[in-house]
Amino acid sequence: MTFKWDSYFETGVEIIDQQHQGLVALINECAPFLTDTEQPDFARMDLLLDQLFAYAAMHFKTEEGLMVSHGVDPRYYKHHGAAHTLFVEQLTDMRAEVASQSVSLAGPNLLKFLTSWLTIHILDEDQRLARHLDLLASGASAVDAFQTVSAKVRATDPARAALESALIELYTLLGERNKVLQTVNQALEQSRNQLEQRVQERTQELSAALEQTKAAQAQLLQSEKMAAIGQLAAGVAHEINNPIGFVNSNLGTLKGYVHQLLSVIDAYEGLDSEVSPLHPARQRIERAIADADLIFLRKDISDLLDESMSGLGRVKKIVQDLKDFSHVDQSDWQDVDLNVGLESTLNVIANEIKYKARVNKTFGLLPQLRCVPAQLNQVFMNLLINAAQAMEGKQEMGRIDVATGADDDAVWVEIRDNGGGMPDDVRRRIFEPFYTTKPVGKGTGLGLSISYDIVTKKHGGRIEVESVTGAGSTFRVVLPRQPNESVLMVQG
């Protein structure tokens, strides 16, 4: 039994609907193992919670950004934000329940929470958000939009009622499934001579489930990469628009020059070599040449073409750096040079850094490292942006030092800034999920937490942090040159 996405789930806001579909697909994938109360799989539940925390950071940031950009009423922003906070708090409670590994209903409770939250959030809260945005886009004031949407009766929403009905049907079928499993277990006890055949059947089922899990992990990784690309879109667009702008301008100027040159040529066509220099036609030609400054045009046309080609080269380089950064077509383990990943990441986020700090690079000669490059690029992006943001409030331009090196056992990347630094109580908590010192709406508190998981859990490395208040911070990422088999199994 799975939820089928239909038109009545749609809010009309494309990015929100895409994210909702991803969440529904994730729950459908996880429902089978969440209903097993006899042998609860706490490890997979913990992985699911990691994925849900990542989804919350992406989805809530999207919605809060839309509310800010459309100028919704502060009362509604507070109300919708409270729903986000409640979701995170409930996820945290679920994580504590799963961590105890003593509650047999942890899986069913988690599934019930998620499906109930889908009913309320997708078919109620986000539908109201979409109506808010539509009203504001049509010219309504924030107060009028708030009052109009608040007057709607949530309980009458047919889509929500349909999903609640599907939820009841799901739990009914799950109850029947458990009864069937009990009957099968009794039959197995009474028919030990058929044990080998039963084991083979269960092995086949497990193999199929493993293939489904691999497919789900690959889909999640692709979604994470696309989300990272979306976060970088604004900065990349800025860098692309600049070269395209002056290329277009130069080509427009070149068109005018060519027109003038053609005018000179037309004037020459009327010139007779026997015409006296004092003849009016001859004089018109000479005036045309003088007015157009023909010598200058010949040189400047060449310069403009060179500038245009240089601009197009910049566009190509930026797009290539974005591709190298995201590794859109390389979601598996790769042997790569981390210096290349750092270069592409620095180029992609250059607009975020260049007004705040100068970057000084000291790259050592690195061996090829076995890793998932898109994930490590995400770590570098988080650390570099944090370093740039640490410069806010400084009177002078800040400094970021990026260094790399290697020894017999590991490869390391060090990012040092001369920003404000951190007190000890902050430094001890920076890798906690949702912990942030930024104002509300300015940060999710997940960047360093996700980076820590990528480095430690997914690559078997470590992150070392040194910070002095008022003197800056240093983050050192240390990665083993050859990850152990357990790390590769987690990724695979």
Q: What is the pLDDT of residue 223?
A: 46
Rounded to a whole number of angstroms, the distance between the first and last alpha carbons of the chain is 27
Distance CA 145, CA 133 (A): 8
DSSP H helices in 273-389: 280-292, 294-326, 338-348, 350-353, 373-389
- Asked if 178 and 290 sit in the same domain, the reply is no
Count of beta carbons in the 10 Å neighbourhood of residue 165: 10
Residues ≥6 apart with Cβ < 8 Å to 100 = 106
- Asked if 476 and 395 sit in the same domain, the reply is yes
> Residue 40 to residues 206, 209, 311: CA-CA distances in angstroms?
15, 15, 58
Q: What is the pLDDT of residue 304?
A: 75
Q: Can you tell me the mean pLDDT for 185-196?
A: 66
Q: At which residue do the structure tokens 């055949």 appear?
A: 197
- Asked if 41 and 152 sit in the same domain, the reply is yes
The answer to whether residue 418 scores a pLDDT higher than 70 is yes
- Asked if 298 and 252 sit in the same domain, the reply is yes
Tokens of residue 325, six digits: 């950064």
- Asked if 250 and 393 sit in the same domain, the reply is no
Q: What is the length of the chain?
A: 492
Distance CA 49, CA 125 (A): 22
Count of beta carbons in the 10 Å neighbourhood of residue 442: 9
Domain that holds residue 483: 332-491
**Greater pLDDT, 346 or 436:** 346
Domains contained in the chain, number: 3
CATH at 34:
1.20.120.50
66-80, 244-258, 431-445: the lowest-pLDDT one: 431-445
**How many CA atoms are closer than 13 Å to the CA of 233, on its beta-carbon side?**
7
Does residue 468 come out as left (phi exceeding 0), alpha (psi in the -120 to 50 range) or beta?
beta
Q: At which residue do the structure tokens 């499906």 appear?
A: 115
Q: Can you tell me the mean pLDDT for 380-406?
A: 88
Does residue 139 come out as left (phi exceeding 0), alpha (psi in the -120 to 50 range) or beta?
left
73-77, 168-172, 184-188, 353-357: the lowest-pLDDT one: 168-172
CATH at 379:
3.30.565.10
- Asked if 376 and 480 sit in the same domain, the reply is yes
The alpha-carbon radius of gyration of the chain (Å, integer) is 31
- Asked if 52 and 104 sit in the same domain, the reply is yes
Q: Can you tell me the mean pLDDT for 73-86?
A: 88
Q: Which of 324, 350, 378 is the last residue of a domain?
A: 324
Is residue 52 very low, low, confident or very high in pLDDT (cuts 50, 70, 90)?
A: confident
For residue 169, being part of any structural domain is answered with yes
The predicted-structure confidence for 195-215, as pLDDT tens digits, reads as follows 677 677 777 777 766 655 654
- Asked if 487 and 340 sit in the same domain, the reply is yes
- Asked if 14 and 54 sit in the same domain, the reply is yes
For residue 216, being part of any structural domain is answered with no
- Asked if 22 and 149 sit in the same domain, the reply is yes
For residue 1, being part of any structural domain is answered with no
Distance CA 448, CA 17 (A): 27
**Greater pLDDT, 257 or 136:** 136
DSSP H helices in 270-293: 280-292
Does residue 355 come out as left (phi exceeding 0), alpha (psi in the -120 to 50 range) or beta?
alpha
Q: What is the pLDDT of residue 477?
A: 94
Q: Which of 157, 190, 223 is the last residue of a domain?
A: 190
CA 472 to chain centre: 27
**Reduced to 3 states, what is the DSSP secondary structure of residue 412?**
strand
Is residue 153 very low, low, confident or very high in pLDDT (cuts 50, 70, 90)?
A: very low
Is residue 275 very low, low, confident or very high in pLDDT (cuts 50, 70, 90)?
A: low
**Greater pLDDT, 363 or 22:** 363
Distance CA 468, CA 222 (A): 37
Contact by Cβ (8 Å): 15, 58: no
Q: What is the pLDDT of residue 219?
A: 41
Is residue 168 very low, low, confident or very high in pLDDT (cuts 50, 70, 90)?
A: very low
Q: Can you tell me the mean pLDDT for 229-254?
A: 65
The most distant pair of C-alpha atoms in the chain lies apart, rounded to whole Å, by: 122
- Asked if 318 and 337 sit in the same domain, the reply is no
Contact by Cβ (8 Å): 350, 391: no
Strands 398-406, 410-417: pairing is antiparallel
**Greater pLDDT, 487 or 113:** 113
Q: Can you tell me the mean pLDDT for 299-308?
A: 72
Tokens of residue 263, six digits: 């005018």
**Greater pLDDT, 314 or 48:** 48
Is residue 20 very low, low, confident or very high in pLDDT (cuts 50, 70, 90)?
A: confident
**Greater pLDDT, 473 or 217:** 473
For residue 307, being part of any structural domain is answered with yes
Is residue 9 very low, low, confident or very high in pLDDT (cuts 50, 70, 90)?
A: confident
The answer to whether residue 309 scores a pLDDT higher than 60 is yes
Where does 56-149 show beta strands of DSSP type E?
Answer: none
Q: What is the mean pLDDT of the chain?
A: 75
The answer to whether residue 436 scores a pLDDT higher than 50 is yes
- Asked if 40 and 170 sit in the same domain, the reply is yes
Q: What is the pLDDT of residue 402?
A: 94
With a pLDDT cut of 70, the percent of the chain lying above it is 65
Q: Which of 278, 299, 324 is the last residue of a domain?
A: 324
Distance CA 58, CA 19 (A): 9
Q: What is the pLDDT of residue 162?
A: 61
The predicted-structure confidence for 378-389, as pLDDT tens digits, reads as follows 889 889 988 988
Q: Which helix (H) or strand (E) element contains residue 190?
A: helix 158-190
The answer to whether residue 359 scores a pLDDT higher than 90 is yes
Contact by Cβ (8 Å): 226, 19: no
Q: What is the pLDDT of residue 28?
A: 77
Contact by Cβ (8 Å): 134, 148: no
7-11, 82-86, 467-471: the lowest-pLDDT one: 7-11
Contact by Cβ (8 Å): 327, 377: yes
For residue 320, being part of any structural domain is answered with yes
